A and B are shown apart, each in its own frame.
Chain A
Amino acid sequence: MSVMESDRVPTAANEPKAPPAVRRGVRIRGNYLPYVLIAPAVVVLVGVLAYPLVDLFLLAFQNVNDYLHLSAPSLVRFIGFDGFTKVLSSTEFWQSTERTVLFTLEVVTASVVLALLFGLLLQRVSSWAKVTVVTALMFVWAIPQIVTGTVFRWLFANTGGVADYVLYRVTGDKGWRTHDWFADSNQGLYVVVALAVLWGALPFLVIGINAALTQVPKELVEASKLDGANGWQTFRHVVLPVIKPFLVLCTALSFIWDFQVFAQIWSLRQNSPEEGYRVLGIYLYQEGLGSSHYSTSAVISILMILLMLAVLVFYIRQVIKIGEQD
């Protein structure tokens, strides 16, 4: 903050609520005003976020399911870590985790690499071509995930599907013409769902990386060229360091999106994903609301949050530093 600001509210840092005895107009108001301003946000977030999170923890250590919740609330009790032991020893949980990790690795890598390539491409094209690409991307960006799933189900349908037709025309193999992409869940998840998620993620990433690339000082690129660096060396030692913070952001965001993928799978599989599509998000949903094992679902939620935190801890540290900067 500027010097002016700290002059006006000298005690702000140490005394959030000055006693009314030192009533000196603006100074005092400056002291509690920020708290008044953030109060609504804090109150709402405590209500819709902190309280549900506490509730989630309580649920995870209880034995709540539909029967106990509705018919015999008196039987609800705390069972300690029994819920965790049960989930952690089930093969379903580990299979879902494995699928989620593989899927996330695949899609995050593809998203960031492709976004970087297309971002670099946009730096090299004429402005009309750039406008064309950005316009197309903006439309894609607007499409809801549920719609993406519905459209991709149609594109990959085994009768009249575009993907089958294109592969049939390209390879000439009649087998492709009525190929069912969803019969084998590995193909469905790691090809069709992955493509749908990638398609939805690329607009933000490409436009963002392109914007980050325009921040690279042209003088530096020019200087490195004059010093005899080739294209790769210039990219590696001049461009990359400048866009690195944004690439980290892209990776973190893609990770967050892909690790909790849900809507695309849900609509691609018409509301009832088969076992092979059960990533953690689908698994916790089916346990919680399909089978009404609320406590089991809460345990899976907590494990999912912990897994995400473990990966994101470096990113969060960086984020907190940004918060402290200004």
Chain B
Amino acid sequence: MALSIKPGRVRPSGVRRSHENEVVGRRRWATPIWNTVAVVFAVVMFFPIYWMIITPIKTGKDLLSVDPTFWPTGFSTASFKTVFTDPNFLPDMRNVAIITVGAVVMGLAVGFLGAVAVARFRFTGRNFFIAAMLVVQMVPLLSLVIPMFFILKNIGLYDQGFGVILAYLVFTIPYVVWTLRSFIVNIPKELDEAALVDGCTRWGAFVRVILPLTVPGLITTGVFCWIQAWNEFVIANILLSSNDQQTAMVWLTGFSSTPTHGADYGSQMAGALMVSLPVIILFVIFQRRVASGLTAGAVKG
């Protein structure tokens, strides 16, 4: 990998696109048709989310009608009340928050060091390490769950948040190493060398040059790890058994299959909305960064 500066590749194409229509000579009359198709696609894709937001504020009458009402005729907060009065809802939201933060922080710390190693050094076993990081991501989590269950039982971490944090490292670390690697490779090596020439120690160069320049990458990677950990279900469902230890996803499946709420879609949607809200908010805040992070990791890979 020479000193090519890759990030430039994304932006120029964006600039070029502004006069793309004239250059390629696309049929301009067709644009309104394509726009319509695109809007229909966007509406269809967004509809389930709209439905999840609109259902819990409907009144009982609207909820029970055979034909759905696409716009609520009244406003009710009863569904949200049902969710918040469920004794397990808030503790389980707190659990998933703790587990997610733990998995993200540990994953980023450990993965970042590994990413620096593969991006900045050439050493025996490096290629193997990189390939392993990718292949590891293909192992189905489901197949690991039963041995994990036995191992955690043996070391006394079964039914504890910390055990699940450790289990989540199985997907956060490889992902962080792989994604941050491409971020760090793109930091021109002249910068480290300039710092070394100016009298920085290797550690100094790392703290003052590589670390600050990797912050955007750390944020993007952190957001993705956050989403994966927050949304994970299988591991949490098996490794946590008591009601007050479970995560929000496990809570939602339990809540929606109880006889009392099984057909109460108002409160099921309220619960679904509440457990996805932290992830949605995160996406809204980091939208731009997440979109560019995706293309950086996926297209260049």
Contacts and interface: CB of A to CB of B under 8 A. Distances in A.
B165 to A, nearest CB: 10
A289 B37 CA distance: 46
Given A142-B276, A146-B233, A271-B257, A45 B136 contact: yes
Q: Which of B1, B2, B45 has the most CB of A within 10 A?
A: B45
A180 B268 CA distance: 19
Interface stretch (A80-88, A151-159, A181-189): A151-159
B166 A204 contact: no
Interface in B99-134: 109-111, 113-114, 116-118, 120-127, 129-131, 134
Contact of B252 (A12, A140, A146): A146
Contacts of A126: 31, 35
A218 B275 CA distance: 44
Given A38-B114, A53-B139, A263-B234, A13 B147 contact: no
A190 interface: no
B227 interface: yes
Interface residues of A, number: 120
A122 interface: yes
A150 B268 contact: yes
A94 interface: no
A185 B145 CA distance: 27
Given A121-B37, A147-B276, A48 B42 contact: no
A33 B205 CA distance: 14
Nearest to A158: B66
B150 interface: yes
A173 interface: no
B69 to A, nearest CB: 9
Interface in B231-255: 231, 233-234, 238, 249, 252-254
A142 B143 contact: no
B39 A281 contact: no
A36 to B, nearest CB: 8
A66 B61 CA distance: 48
Contacts of A322: 134, 301
Contacts of A312: 138
A22 interface: no
A4 B189 contact: yes
B174 interface: yes
Interface string B2-42: 11000001100110110010011110001100110111011
A230 interface: no
Interface in A5-51: 5-6, 9, 12-14, 16, 26, 29-31, 33-35, 37-38, 40-42, 44-45, 47-49, 51
B193 interface: yes
B147 A208 contact: no
A102 interface: no
Interface of B: 1-3, 9-10, 13-14, 16-17, 20, 23-26, 30-31, 34-35, 37-39, 41-43, 45-49, 51-52, 55, 63-68, 109-111, 113-114, 116-118, 120-127, 129-131, 134-136, 138-151, 166-167, 169-170, 173-174, 177, 185, 189, 193, 202, 227, 230-231, 233-234, 238, 249, 252-254, 256-257, 262, 265, 268-269, 271-272, 275-276, 279-280, 282-283, 287, 290-291, 294-295, 298-299, 301
Interface of A: 1-2, 4-6, 9, 12-14, 16, 26, 29-31, 33-35, 37-38, 40-42, 44-45, 47-49, 51-53, 55-56, 59, 118, 121-122, 124-126, 129-130, 132-148, 150-155, 157, 159-162, 165, 177-178, 199, 202-204, 207-208, 211-212, 214-215, 218, 221-222, 225, 246, 249, 256, 259-260, 262-263, 266-267, 270-272, 281, 284-285, 288-289, 294, 297-298, 301-302, 304-305, 308, 312, 316, 319-320, 322-326
16 contacts: A1-B121, A5-B189, A40-B114, A41-B114, A48-B167, A56-B144, A59-B150, A121-B37, A144-B249, A150-B252, A150-B256, A165-B67, A207-B295, A214-B13, A298-B146, A302-B143
Given A147-B276, A199-B48, A304-B142, 16 more contacts: A34-B118, A45-B169, A52-B151, A132-B39, A138-B287, A154-B269, A162-B47, A214-B14, A246-B298, A260-B142, A271-B257, A302-B143, A305-B140, A319-B135, A322-B134, A324-B127
